[in-house]
Amino acid sequence: MSGGAFEYHEMYIEEIAECIRNIYVKQKNKKWVAWARNEDMYFAPHSKGVLAVYKKAYKALRVAHIYAKAVDYLEAGDYGDEDFLSNVNMQLEKLDKEMKSGLENIDGCEISHEGYELPRIYWESSD
């Protein structure tokens, strides 16, 4: 495994981005939303405005991961300056293409509700 200058912590950035993308894709899927509503009477789908922010958050985190991973490889001695610059540009271009195709079309997103637990909302009484 290459890198290690940051003890591979940049992987957490990618994991958070993927979690946000999964939420986004599920919230955009009408069948999944119908299932979620059926499972939890307190479930409310996110608004278009919230989903737009989730999409921006996903991209920002992916950009942060691309930079962090490239810097990690450079500082660990796996990349030289040219490799660093080339890889960063290539990864950013790839991300732009993915974003244009839509978050729903990026490989690896699971829409199934199997094994998924809805967050529970507990209402406190004002008594």
pLDDT in tens, 21-59: 989 998 988 888 888 888 887 788 999 999 999 999 999
The answer, yes or no, to whether residue 7 has pLDDT greater than 80, is: yes
Q: What is the pLDDT of residue 4?
A: 82
pLDDT in tens, 70-80: 999 999 999 89
Determine if the pTM surpasses 0.85: no
Whether 64 and 13 have beta carbons less than 8 Å apart is answered as yes
Give the Cα separation of 59 and 90 in Å (integer).
15
Q: What is the pLDDT of residue 37?
A: 85
Q: What is the pLDDT of residue 127?
A: 44
